[in-house]
Amino acid sequence: MNGAMWRVVSRASSLIFHSKKRNALSVTVRTFSAPTGLYGFPHLKTAKGFQSFVDEAIQRSGELISYICAKQPASEVMRAMDEISDTVCSVVDSAELCRHTHPDREFVEEASKASMRINEYLHYLNTNHDLYDAIKKAEQECNMLSEEAKRGVRNLRADFERGGINLCSGKLDQVNKLNIEIAQLCREYNENIVMDPGIVDIYPSSRIPRNLHYLVKPIHRSVSLITKDLSGSRGTLKEKGFRITTDPQTVSSVLQFSSDDEVRKMVYIRGNSVPQANVDVLKRLISARHELAQIMGCSSYTEFSIKPNMALSPKVVMSFLLEMSKMVKPKTREEHRLLTKFKREKCGQSDEDLRPWDETYYMTMMKSSAYKLDASVVGSYFSLSNCIEGLKVLVQSLFGATFHSIPLAPNESWDPHVLKLSLHHPEEGDLGYLYLDLYSRKGKYPGCAHFAIKGGRRISPTEYQLPIVALVCNFPGSQNPSAVRLNHWEVETLFHEFGHALHSLLSRTDYQHFSGTRAVLDFAEIPSNLFEYSLIFNWDLQLECQHPPVQDEKDVFRMVMWHIISCRALGYYAWDYRVLRKFARHCSTGEEIPQKLVESMQGARDMFAATELQRQIFYALVDQTLFGEQPLPHGDISSVVAELKREHTNYGHVKGTHWETRFSHLLNYGAGYYSYLYAKCFAATIWKKLCEEDPLSSTTGFALRTKFLQHGGAREPDALLNDLMGDGIYRYHDGGIVPDISCLCDEMKLVEEYPLQVHL
């Protein structure tokens, strides 16, 4: 969402003030007895309904602003502010989901218009001095409020100020102009990636293995040839080749499966040197963010970004990253040595070096050779229906809740294959609602993502607005879930995103301001990390790129870290045999997945895990450095990236490449990419000390829910972590918080190489 205070409350809520005036947004999300529309919103029966949806949101927000300005007590100010957010963000979130998933072009266009209109209104809200003054007054009078309400008032005031509202008018105008410029540069950066993915033409076609033909486009060229008769006349022959579009997914597949060194090299270089236009865009983005930070009284954009987070300062983050880099380096060198030796044996050349375009290919070969894994065999145990059953088993075992299919109302769905589930607890009733949009289709957002539609909030002592979320995936093939086979990376992704959805569904905060993943950046992904562990953890960029695009970089600060911790935690569940055997069954025989197969999968995962971790450390260091002190330490951007790569990986920079020009996390998580590593450490500790002994026990689930998930961002993250795990899960350094890394070291078998002499 666009702006300061509203960026963290973009998941909607419900009416607090029961005025006599009609308010369409006062309809709770529990039932849709009245005629309804898309996602249950009565306005959205047709695409044009987005216009009235925006109109009523603005009208109702105006009423609430007037109410707040009539000198209400602190409790009413907080509730009214939360309702404004709910009212406006119902439009924002539904428009975003519609823009990325709806097959009807008219709906997409109207949702885009609604998004632009409501974002303009958000700018008005974020610069409204009457609201800011009311919040400051409420903060001074909040002694009688609940702890969550006090935290809400403090956060709203801080968010206003992060938007520059307390600056003089001239500087505030500069901040607003810079925010607009930054948003435009982010859009331009993403558009360039789409418009210029790069191409490589390969001749002859035999150089591309058959299993990659689905990714490439046949092409032909004329080749001159001399006839064999005495006339010496020339003829022509049409030679078939393939055109490779070097988008990230295709590049990844080619680097993994093509045995032709030259093909891999061409694809790697081309894929990492487009779009050229983003060299300048990124330079301008860095400059604009730096100027913004300086106006806000910070020495760098990293300082501005990290201030609200657990880490508190760039110094703390850099200390953590450099210590992680030092920790992992010995094992990565050994992995690099083994991979180089393997390549030389396969090539029959004792002096052959390992190139950047070789790494993925020989890793895949080496894993296959060591563990004899066949992707088709693994996939036969992971039908989509089995995996959905696995999610149900997880929720039932841990939380005593069940998912039930419920019918969709007329006009509520956007595609015939969308399913709606309720998460039901036998004692508490329905806990929330989940839309499943699982299959690929033309024009749909290409990744896997969790979209929140409504956030939970308390309406009265006896009423609670239930959360509504959508889980969007792009699984190919038949739309019969029993016939769709997932590779394990897709299973991981499903569990990861389900971790986000589950966190939203189980959150029980009084204010939707704190619902679900709305927490500080370096805290938000712990739950999803944890649940992903139950499959098999793959710390790869592909997984991290699946989140939906963020309209405003400020959206990320409060949601990402809690999201990281939640999803990484779920990730551990995705690898545990005790969990997998509950649902992974052979598509033909029905037999449960063999333990030896799971052990082979785990072994393949663990090979080169240090190298994968090192890559993420490198990404985080690039992110911190580019948005750090200016001017950049090594001159231009590519020089900075090249130097960091030489220092913190086992590969040198390939001349002419500029990988950073399509690493979109520099936009969405500017100076915050380190959060994934924070979450990985936190999730490893939670798994090791709380979940590993009995991952499916109700005792474990009770602790996760009552001490962690249900609080969303309503409590300080260090208090939540300490309540869940006790002392030792984090430590203080220069006023900031850093995670303990000992469990991660143990998990990755880094103890021998790096004896945990860690004192940040």
CA 143 to mean position of chain CA atoms: 37
| Alpha-carbon distance values, 446 to 438, 439, 440, 472 (Å) | 11, 10, 8, 9
Kindly state the tokens that stand for 188. 């331009």
Q: How far apart are CA 599 and CA 610, in angstroms?
A: 19
Q: Which residues of 388-424 are buried (b: 16+ CB within 10 A; e: fewer)?
A: bbbbbebbbbbbebebeeeebbebbbbbeebbbbbbe
For residue 432, which of 403, 399, 466 has the smallest C-alpha distance?
466
Continuous segment of H or E residues that includes residue 202: strand 199-202
Strand partners of residue 423: 403, 432
Asked if 459 contacts 466 with a C-beta cutoff of 8 angstroms, the reply is no
Nearest-Å Rg of the Cα atoms of the chain is 26
Length of the chain: 760
Long-range contacts of 746-749 (CB under 8 A, 24+ apart): 746/688, 747/684, 747/688, 748/328, 748/331, 748/606, 748/609, 748/610, 748/613, 749/331, 749/606
Asked if 78 contacts 149 with a C-beta cutoff of 8 angstroms, the reply is yes
Give the alpha-carbon dihedral of 60, 61, 63, 67, to 10 degrees.
140
525 is annotated as an active-site residue:
no
Conformation bin of residue 245: beta by default, left when phi > 0, alpha when psi is -120 to 50: beta
For residue 466, which of 531, 512, 409 has the smallest C-alpha distance?
512
Catalytic residue from among 335, 497, 525, 553: 497
Quickly tell me which residue has 């959508």 as its tokens.
Answer: 470
| Alpha-carbon distance values, 592 to 31, 257, 376, 580, 604 (Å) | 39, 29, 16, 8, 20
Continuous segment of H or E residues that includes residue 473: strand 468-475
Asked if 89 contacts 122 with a C-beta cutoff of 8 angstroms, the reply is no
Q: Where are the alpha helices (DSSP H) in 196-297?
A: 248-257, 261-271, 277-295
Q: How far apart are CA 40 and CA 749, in angstroms?
A: 49
Give the 3-state secondary structure of residue 218. Answer: strand
Q: What is the largest CA-CA distance in the chain?
A: 104
Kindly state the tokens that stand for 628. 């750090």
Conformation bin of residue 734: beta by default, left when phi > 0, alpha when psi is -120 to 50: left
Continuous segment of H or E residues that includes residue 449: strand 449-454
Q: How far apart are CA 689 and CA 747, in angstroms?
A: 12
Continuous segment of H or E residues that includes residue 376: helix 375-379
Q: How far apart are CA 415 and CA 103, in angstroms?
A: 7
Asked if 401 contacts 431 with a C-beta cutoff of 8 angstroms, the reply is yes
For residue 513, which of 5, 71, 2, 1 has the smallest C-alpha distance?
5
Continuous segment of H or E residues that includes residue 464: strand 463-465
Asked if 475 contacts 484 with a C-beta cutoff of 8 angstroms, the reply is yes
Q: How far apart are CA 198 and CA 236, in angstroms?
A: 29
Strand partners of residue 316: none
Q: Which residues are catalytic?
A: 497
